[in-house]
């Protein structure tokens, strides 16, 4: 799976916007797509290796902001098998607070198949500089080489390291910890918030979770999920591409229903969740599962701020250089952190 369109006889660019969504998309996105994206080969129609070496994952990103220090650390595992794992640590400029820096643990997007420690540095530096907190970006292993649950294990190991070593090593405030991520990273962050309930002494407790266009239901499909049906042919993440990611990450279909793969399917623990910012795109296949996740949190009595970004397909956060909705989402994240850490 994933190599089948390496043959030149497979689908080739250009890829005009589909009639089902073309007139619903924000005009600025449409102009950028037609100028920069529609003539490029799509990720799910070429080998994984080609997508990993083709440069920028999503064009249209804004600049990184200057921070006090950026360092990469290799962390050792405590519970799972595998190599040491890299994390990137962004530290703000200026003097450290007397009780230590607040900290945000961040998981990047890319469908558990693409992306790396470089992918969302723009978002991470914005959060670091503007919310005045340390940001730890986790470089979890990717499928198909390392399918589920490798990314879950790595996400958890980062939290174990943070509690046992990172807080003291990086001079962090253990009472001011946030967690979050985008897309596949939002999936991992949500799963970690639930998983943390079973081992409260081993990992930090979280003041807030920031879930941006999160995958919460890996059983979703056009036949049973409203936004999958409405946005089946939406650009950037059509249903076919989401299934390509899913089948790489979750090759065993029986695992699709496991809560650590589909956090929407956790049966309990909702009342104990940290307050949440959930941001979804109106024209994203993942919109419904993000909305349903926010609703489950609300029913559990958790404070939730749900934002639906009008006219937006999936990747608006990564397109903050072009889209106001991307810049606004980063600002929502910064303000949620400032409030949580106040």
Q: Which residues are catalytic?
A: 183, 284, 314
Vertex 224: Cα angle to 220 and 230 (nearest 5):
90
Beta bridge partners of 209: 179, 276
Tokens (6 digits) for 48: 């994984």
Tokens (6 digits) for 14: 């250009």
| Distances from the Cα of 9 to the Cα of 13, 98, 112, 341, angstroms | 12, 62, 27, 54
Beta bridge partners of 135: 90, 104
How remote is the C-alpha of 129 from its chain's centroid?
20
Q: Quick one: CA torsion of 37, 41, 47, 50, rounded to 10 degrees?
A: -60
Q: Which sign, positive or negative, has the C-alpha torsion 323, 328, 329, 334?
A: positive
Tokens (6 digits) for 224: 């049973």
Which of 175, 182, 213 lies closest to 106, judged by CA? 182
Question: In whole angstroms, what is the distance from residue 141 CA to residue 145 CA?
Answer: 8
Q: Cβ contacts of residue 44 below 8 Å, gap of 6+?
A: 2, 5, 240, 241, 244, 245
| Residue 212: how many other CB atoms lie within 10 Å | 29
Within 2-47, where are the H helices? Answer: 19-22, 27-36
């Amino acid at each position: 799976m994933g190599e089948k369109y390496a043959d030149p006889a497979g689908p080739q660019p250009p890829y005009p916007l589909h009639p089902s969504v073309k007139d619903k998309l924000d005009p600025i996105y449409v102009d950028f797509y037609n100028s920069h994206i529609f003539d490029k080969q799509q990720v799910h129609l070429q080998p994984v290796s080609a997508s990993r070496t083709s440069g920028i994952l999503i064009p249209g990103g804004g600049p990184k902001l200057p921070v006090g220090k950026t360092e990469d650390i290799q962390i050792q595992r405590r519970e799972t098998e595998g190599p040491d794992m890299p994390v990137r640590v962004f530290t703000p400029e200026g003097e450290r607070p007397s009780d230590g820096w607040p900290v945000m643990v961040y998981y990047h997007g890319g469908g558990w198949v693409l992306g790396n420690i470089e992918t969302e540095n723009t978002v991470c530096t914005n959060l670091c500089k503007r919310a005045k907190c340390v940001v730890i970006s986790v470089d979890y292993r990717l499928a198909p080489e390392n399918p589920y649950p490798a990314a879950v294990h790595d996400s958890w190991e980062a939290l174990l390291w943070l509690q046992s070593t990172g807080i003291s090593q990086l001079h962090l405030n253990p009472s001011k910890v946030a967690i979050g991520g985008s897309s596949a990273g939002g999936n991992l962050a949500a799963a970690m918030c639930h998983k943390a309930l079973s081992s409260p002494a081993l990992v930090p407790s979280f003041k807030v979770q920031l879930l941006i266009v999160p995958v919460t239901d890996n059983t979703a499909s056009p036949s049973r999920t409203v936004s999958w049906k409405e946005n089946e042919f939406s650009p950037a993440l059509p249903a076919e591409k989401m299934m390509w990611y899913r089948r790489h990450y979750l090759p065993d279909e029986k695992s699709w229903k496991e809560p650590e793969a589909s956090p929407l399917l956790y049966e309990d623990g909702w009342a104990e969740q940290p307050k949440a910012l959930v941001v979804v795109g109106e024209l994203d296949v993942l919109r419904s599962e993000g909305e349903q996740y926010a609703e489950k949190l609300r029913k559990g009595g958790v404070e939730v701020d749900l934002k639906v970004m009008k006219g937006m397909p999936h990747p608006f956060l990564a397109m903050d250089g072009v889209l106001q909705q991307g810049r606004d989402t980063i600002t929502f994240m910064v303000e949620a952190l400032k409030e949580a850490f106040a």
